[in-house]
Amino acid sequence: MPGESACAHGHPQLPAQADAPEADAALAAPAAVRPHLHASGFDPRAAGGRQVLKLELRGMPPDCAPQVTLLASSRLQLENGERHTFNRTVRGEWLPVFLEFSSRGLEHGQYRIEVELHSRAQAPGGSARTWIATLLILAPRADASLSEIHQTFLATHKNVRVQADDASIARVKARTGGGRLDIDLRATNAGIAHLDLDATAAGKIDLGFSSIAWDEDLLEIDVPAQAAAHPCPAATACLVLGETPDVQRPRYLRLFALDECVLGRDESGLNGAGAIDADIRLMHHGEAGLMPEGLTRRISGRHALLRRGREGFEIEDVSRYGLLVDGVWPGKHAPVALRPGMRIEFTASIPGVAVLEVTAVLPNAIILQRLDAGMDLEAFYLMDPERKPDIAPRLGALGLPLLFHRDGGFWHLDPASGIETPLTPTLATGNLSAWPAGARFAARPYPEHRNGPSTLVLRQQERSAHGRRASA
């Protein structure tokens, strides 16, 4: 009851806040926790088979982005790609990431999984943060006993946690000569679980260990200094390179600085309805121009994913209709590394609905040009967010400027002078290198689109209606 120093059973109660504010403040103050990666679900007995490693973020600083990108690399066969994303809920918890891997075909021993975590700046001028960690995975011999597996794992993982109700060591000794004996040993968040069975009696002993879990400290390796805010922050934008279609230079150069780009159908041209899931929006172009209906329907709303992996930029098919890379379907959810000159066709069932070519792979970007009838309309310039190229590649043959993304916005780099110019809608672009006269910058990737159908679609519909009236 209020004011009592003990409960009805005599247990002493905590003092009220008015009596001892210092004690309550000490109890309420959370202990500082270093960022670490909690791994669980690993079972060394599953040699050669597929396993699922559950990864959880703990102790992350409050200023990190609500989405943290995970890059994993290992000699183990990592399923579903090497790139994953941690997402933070509205309550502040982090949803776990499930990393699937297999040791099939590999000799027994220890294997590393190198992990990088990237947190992008939340606001223009903010700092990006990067952490690294290394997970050690044991692939035992096919004929290894459970005791050998467990001893080897404990010898290599000094921070293994197997809980036995807040005890550091759980030890169970049992004799099986008296008949059947079922033991349920649960071990989490402690040091060692020791199970000793007397196997002198005839019979079979089934022994199983619970899922092993351990923590790895996240080491922060990159904390850039605060930079000045970009005058026109944007992650997607467009360069309007003149109003007259030119097959040598696309009219719209669409700019993207995203961790992952979704390529899909442009729903804005389908009667002005439908939600748009894609970042790069594609429509079929015929001899008469844009064709929002018909073959455009063969492009899924989320057709492919384009991102940067450890080996460079890669594309992954996630669609119903498939895609062809140099005439071959790579398979669904099978990322393919992109190289200059590669040809990407949408779709696999009806090739040629939309055709892209990798015309340049830069240290910080990749450029895709259309090879179909839409080549006089657009090209795509995809960049790594917050990354400046280490060297200045020559793009003069393509007639395109050298661009990069930093401080939350897009920049132009003059290879000759090294001058960096932030791109804004009010920028006078006449004196910039590889920049045609009359070009302008728009802080959205599709400036020709409005709330309804795009102006290009409206123009196409007007031309079609005019042609019908003329023929009538």
Going by their DSSP bridges, the two strands 192-198 and 169-175 should be labelled as parallel
Instruction: State the average pLDDT over residues 280-286.
Output: 90
Q: What is the pLDDT of residues 203-252, one digit of tens each?
A: 555 555 545 778 888 998 865 555 567 899 999 999 987 654 444 556 89
Q: Is the pLDDT of residue 28 over 60?
A: no
pLDDT reading at 7 higher than 50: yes
Residue 142 DSSP class: T
Burial label for 190, CB within 10 Å (0-12, 13-18, 19+), is middle
pLDDT at 316: 93
pLDDT band at 326 (very low <50, low <70, confident <90, very high): very high
Collect all residues with Cβ–Cβ distance below 8 Å to 27 and sequence separation of at least 6.
14
Give the list of residues 6+ apart from residue 431 with CB closer than 8 angstroms, or none.
none
The answer to whether residue 297 scores a pLDDT higher than 60 is yes
431-452: average pLDDT: 75
- Stretch (H or E) spanning 318: none
Tell me the HSE value of 304 on the side-chain side, using a 13 A CA sphere: 31
Q: How far apart are the C-alpha atoms of 332 and 327, rounded to whole Å? A: 15
Query: Tens of pLDDT along 70-91?
Result: 988 888 888 776 788 899 998 8
Inter-residue contact 404 to 364 (CB < 8 Å): yes
Q: Which helix (DSSP H) or strand (DSSP E) does residue 121 occupy?
A: none
Domain chopping of the chain, boundaries: 36-156, 236-442
pLDDT at 368: 95
Confidence bin at 439 (pLDDT 50/70/90): confident
Give the DSSP H/E element, type plus range, for residue 77.
strand 77-78
Contact, 324 vs 342, CB < 8 A?
Answer: no
Please indicate whether residue 27 or residue 171 has the higher confidence score (pLDDT). 171
What's the mean pLDDT in 144-166?
59
pLDDT higher than 60, residue 172: no
What does the mean pLDDT of the chain come to? 76
**Buried b vs exposed e over 115-133: b needs ≥16 C-beta within 10 Å?**
bbbbbbbeebebbbbbbbb
Task: State the pLDDT at residue 109.
Answer: 84
pLDDT on residue 5: 77
Higher pLDDT residue, 18 or 55?
55
What distance in Å separates the CA atoms of residue 246 and residue 264, rounded to the nearest whole number?
25
- Of the two residues 121 and 34, the one the predictor is more confident about is 34
Q: What confidence score (pLDDT) does residue 249 get? A: 55
- In tens, the pLDDT along 440-449 reads 899 999 988 7
* Whether residue 343 has pLDDT greater than 90: yes
Residue 247: what pLDDT?
41
Q: How far apart are the first and last CA of the chain?
A: 93
Contact 348, 365 (CB under 8 A): no
User: Rounded mean pLDDT of 410-436?
Assistant: 80
Going by their DSSP bridges, the two strands 378-383 and 252-256 should be labelled as parallel
Residue 355 pLDDT > 60 = yes
User: Are 373 and 394 contacting, i.e. CB atoms less than 8 angstroms apart?
Assistant: no
Q: What is the pLDDT of residue 255?
A: 96
The H or E element that residue 103 is part of is: none
| Contact status, residue 85 vs residue 69, Cβ threshold 8 Å | yes
pLDDT of residue 186: 57
CATH code 2.60.200.20 for 236-442: yes
Which has the minimum average pLDDT: 50-54, 66-70, 267-271?
267-271
Q: 287: burial class by Cβ within 10 Å (0-12, 13-18, 19+)?
A: exposed
Domain 36-156 has CATH 3.40.50: no
- The H or E element that residue 458 is part of is helix 455-471
Confidence of residue 98 (pLDDT cuts 50, 70, 90): very high
More confident of the two residues 57 and 17: 57
- Local confidence band at 426 (pLDDT 50, 70, 90 cut-offs): confident
Lowest mean pLDDT among 27-36, 295-304, 345-354, 416-425: 27-36
Please give the pLDDT value at position 256.
96
pLDDT of amino acid 410 = 94
Instruction: Judge if the upstream peptide bond of residue 359 is cis by omega within 30 degrees of 0.
Output: no
